[in-house]
Chains A and B, each alone.
Chain A
């Protein structure tokens, strides 16, 4: 079913995703300023049902639930939903502004051969998020939004701020 749809649309399965709140605001800010990317998002992943309508303007949307590092049970559930999502959609590339639920999606995207772009939140001023520090180990591109957090030797780049 989904493979037919994939062939009919863009050849690159391009997933964008973000958690609620500022993470979503940052992703939407990015997409509003894309200025003609070579490919367009084909599928979205987010964490709360109240965000669905905002994401569906971009593409078909899957909701995987919220979790954080202090909610291990919720995190396991989100990790499983993230796996189901990645198996169903097989993204070639994921662009995300966080947070932890999207780090879990990023792990599966990478496991199944996709590329990962992680943009650490502008809310992270003193240091990168825990999720960012995990994902940057395997991400294909890692951006931070404060110049002092960039690290050339680690390939962590600063180019600007989304919000």
Chain B
């Protein structure tokens, strides 16, 4: 199954429209989309607007290809499962986000081999062909280091508090 994800914050009709066109081109493939508050309703794939985490995880488990916006939630989910993901960054010029940070995210993560990226709708088709054989480079984040620094802060904060209380 190809699972198309726009995230829970904002719609992304340009992506859904392009994915819907691909779904028409590849009808033998099972398509499912999460479209948010989008105005465009797909005609060639099943869709829901939003999903709670358990249902989202079930859909993910049943997918072998992912297409999504270039949000970190979507990217890290795909990398965590080792699933191939094709991203299209939200474009602020088209009102799809407040600024261009998804463009930078798509460039960096595609450059590092973690995801495939298509900036424009007309590039989605050729990138999709690569997706079935795309083997994402695993990413190794370092959350424990961040947690350690926060823990250090919380310790000084805790002792500061007890001192002021005495």
Cβ–Cβ < 8 Å partners of B153 in chain A: 117, 140-141
Q: A38-B154, A121-B72, A126-B101 are in contact. Are A160 and B108 (CB under 8 A)?
A: no
B146 touches A162 (CB 8 A): yes
Binding site secondary structure of chain A: loop
Indicate the size class of the contact surface on chain B. 35 or more
* Mask of B122-163 contacts with A, CB within 8 angstroms, 1/0: 000000000000000000011111111111011101100100
B73 touches A24 (CB 8 A): yes
> Smallest distance from the beta carbon of A30 to chain B beta carbons, Å?
5
Cβ–Cβ < 8 Å partners of A123 in chain B: 71-72, 101-102, 105
Give Cα A11–Cα B165 distance, bound, in whole angstroms: 11
A39 touches B9 (CB 8 A): no
Cβ–Cβ < 8 Å partners of A21 in chain B: 7-9, 71-74
Binding site secondary structure of chain B: helix
Stretch at the interface among A65-73, A81-89, A102-110: A65-73
Give Cα A66–Cα B142 distance, bound, in whole angstroms: 28
A124 touches B8 (CB 8 A): no
Indicate the size class of the contact surface on chain A. 35 or more
Give Cα A33–Cα B108 distance, bound, in whole angstroms: 25
For window 1-51 of A, CB contacts with B under 8 Å fall at 11-12, 14, 19-26, 29-39, 48, 50-51
Query: Of the candidates B9, B108, B149, B155, which one forms a contact with A66 in the assembled complex, judged by CB atoms under 8 Å apart?
Result: B9
Give Cα A129–Cα B150 distance, bound, in whole angstroms: 20
A163 touches B146 (CB 8 A): no
A38 touches B151 (CB 8 A): yes
Give Cα A163–Cα B155 distance, bound, in whole angstroms: 24
Give Cα A48–Cα B77 distance, bound, in whole angstroms: 19
> Smallest distance from the beta carbon of A161 to chain B beta carbons, Å?
4
A38 touches B101 (CB 8 A): no
Cβ–Cβ < 8 Å partners of B61 in chain A: none
A159 touches B148 (CB 8 A): yes
Give Cα A9–Cα B74 distance, bound, in whole angstroms: 35
Q: A115-B157, A141-B153 are in contact. Are A159 and B146 (CB under 8 A)?
A: yes
For window 145-163 of A, CB contacts with B under 8 Å fall at 145, 157, 159-163
Cβ–Cβ < 8 Å partners of B121 in chain A: none
B77 touches A25 (CB 8 A): yes
13 contacts between A and B (CB under 8 A): A12-B157, A12-B161, A20-B8, A22-B72, A36-B151, A38-B151, A50-B52, A53-B53, A143-B146, A160-B145, A161-B141, A162-B141, A163-B141
Interfacial residues, chain B to chain A (CB-CB below 8 A): 7-9, 50-53, 71-77, 98-99, 101-102, 104-105, 108, 141-151, 153-155, 157-158, 161
